[in-house]
Structure 1
């Protein structure tokens, strides 16, 4: 048991160091730019779409919850609300995936569609997206095809695009207008997702502060 405790402590120390390093190396200028982008989208009544896969899917849902509900200030009159969408409707998502690739390959869509899953975010977003909206894709690798397709689609619709990514940024970092990167060794998904949640709360807490000060 002592050996297990020693190994757990050793692992914890290394994990703590990796996380501290990743947070210390974040580009706060870019994060600040994204914070202002989200606020300005809210002020002009634009939509904001959050989307991701797996753990990033949960982070996207968390973003939509916090910005949609958590930024409302009790008693504040005439407050403008964040028009946020977490592209996480289970029925819509699975129906979109089940349709296969034909709706996209036979239509005028950018990107690569090998199967229906590649269009799950485009299929949900296209019903609402307008010029000036914000498409916020979350992906540790930055290479998920459905994320890339959604960012490409948003760009042709003249929406602002944000990629919150990890490792080396992947292909998403080359597409998005704004890139929040957690730079680290490839395969460290837990590290990236954990720091992505830190960034999420930084953006959210700043949004609350802005609401209280305007």
Structure 2
């Protein structure tokens, strides 16, 4: 009998062995994030399910701290306000839960990070479309082939795997790397 853990670990290691190919995309995304924050703008994150949890996790790394004690950075996960989510979903539809918030909270020069393992989440697609119309930078942290979001986002980081769990594992590694690059890019790290 095969071990599910060992099977998952084998799949994880095989995917992670290929992630070096995303280095330029991760660097490009980090540059956009640093530029936005340096200019006094904010980062908004959105996603569904596990990607909502990743959004909240990464926003907290920025407003709290990641590695070193430093000033808080302006970041918000659009999936955390249950009153806004339920109001918008009830009055409009679930497809609008993020784009209404982007239009209400976003400003030109901000950055929206849309996280979607399929690249086809309707509410993330609408949020990215609204962001682009408003002059907000867009980054897609995506999976599989990147879906429809691939062509919409200014910068995409695509984890090419058919397995949602493996994509999410890679997304959090990439997200943590972006947080570290932001701290370095803004000169907020202690001397190494």
Q: TM-score, normalised by structure 2?
A: 0.89
Q: Distance in 2 between matches of 1:90 and 1:133?
A: 23
Shift of the alpha carbon at 1:35?
1.4
- Give 1:19's match in structure 2, choosing from 12, 25, 39: 12
Query: How far has the Cα of 1:207 moved from its partner?
Result: 2.9
Match of 1:202 among 166, 174, 177: 177
Cα offset for 1:72?
Answer: 8.6
How far 1:71 sits from its partner (Å)? 4.7
* Deviation, structure 1 residue 38: 1.3
Match of 1:36 among 31, 36, 54: 31
**Structure 1 residues not aligned, in runs of 5+:** 1-5, 101-115
Q: Which residue of 2 aligns with 1:85?
A: 76
Question: TM-score normalized by structure 1?
Answer: 0.81
The question of whether the paired residues in 1 share the 8 Å contact of 2:51 and 2:168 is answered with: yes
Moved over 6 A (4+): none
- CA drift at 1:25: 2.2
Q: Residues 97-116 of structure 1: CA distance to partner in whole angstroms, max 9, x if unpaired?
A: 0002xxxxxxxxxxxxxxx1
Q: CA deviation at 1:193?
A: 1.0
Q: Is 1:190 matched up with 2:165?
A: yes
Q: Please, which of 97, 103, 108 is the counterpart of residue 120 of structure 1?
A: 97
Q: Secondary structure in 1 aligned to 2:106?
A: coil
Q: How does 1:50-129 map to 2 (within 5 A)?
A: 50-71=45-66, 74=69, 81-87=72-78, 88-100=80-92, 116-129=93-106
The superposition leaves residues 92-138 of structure 1 with CA deviations (integer Å, 9 ceiling, x where unpaired) of: 111110002xxxxxxxxxxxxxxx10000011121221111101000
CA contact (8 A) 2:102 2:130 kept: no
Say whether 1:170 aligns with 2:147: yes
Specify the structure having the higher radius of gyration (Cα): 1
Q: Could you say what secondary structure the match of 2:124 adopts?
A: helix
Whether contact under 8 Å (2:119, 2:147) holds in the other structure is yes
